[in-house]
Amino acid sequence: MSGQPPSAVRPVQPAPGYSQFHSMLKRRLSKGASTVIRPFALNLRPKLESTDERFLLLRWLYTDRVNHEIKERELSREVTTHSAEETVAFGRTLAELLAPPKLVLLRGDLGAGKTTLVKGIAAAFAAADEEDVTSPTFTLVHEYRGPRATLYHIDLYRIDTPRELDTLALDDLRSDNSILLIEWGEKFPRFVHERDVEISLEREVENGRRIRVSG
């Protein structure tokens, strides 16, 4: 028996090379995307049936062709960023997950990085340049039109009553190609019920931000 691996660690079949796996991913992507990017792969993961396929996907995710900071935890869409730039970059990876129509709640204290994350999301949808995305704290609603979606970045920090909320007529913004990204939306229970995706940001030490995405 010596020299035999325990059965629980059955060796995984030799993986085909990157290009082979790349074309396999491409074949599997219904939209026939020409560039396989990580969000596609993350979407694809639940559709992969066999252990080998999942292994290959993981291996692909870990190659140096993608951000070396990707860690196992991020596969469940949880990540810690260490700068505003990293949060913007993470926001960019969320585009596939946020295909319209969506109502997204952004939760977190003041300065947690909600608006920073929207910079990445808006950029990924080619709806705005990062630097043009600013806080709608006083303006309440910012609109960014992209080719695939219209983003509405909304900040309800200063809105306290359902009546004030009604004046914003947010329901009128909802359509097949709209994405509502709402900061402080959890102040109103209806948004907690209606939201498709929730992204929470928590300040850790200094510039560290724990970001969790749940659907």
| Binding region for Mg ion (CB under 5 A) | 114-115, 135, 183
24 touching ligand ADP, by CB under 6 A: no
One of 84, 141, 165, 173 touching ligand ADP (CB under 6 A): 84
Q: Whats the size of the chain, residue-wise? A: 215
One of 110, 139, 161, 190 touching ligand ADP (CB under 6 A): 110
The two beta strands, 197-203 and 78-81, are unpaired
Q: How far is the CB of 210 from ligand ADP (least distance, A)?
A: 9
To which H or E segment does residue 80 belong? Answer: strand 78-81
Q: How far is the CB of 111 from ligand ADP (least distance, A)?
A: 5
Tell me: cis bond preceding 101? Omega within 30 of 0 counts: yes
93 touching ligand ADP, by CB under 6 A: no
Among 22-30, 108-116, 122-130, 172-180, the segment contacting ligand ADP (CB under 6 A): 108-116
| 59 and 189 Cβ atoms separated by less than 8 Å | no
Q: How far is 157 from 98, CA to CA, in rounded Å?
A: 23
81 touching ligand ADP, by CB under 6 A: yes
46 DSSP β-pair partners:
none
Q: Show contacts with ligand ADP in window 121-150 (CB under 6 A).
A: 135
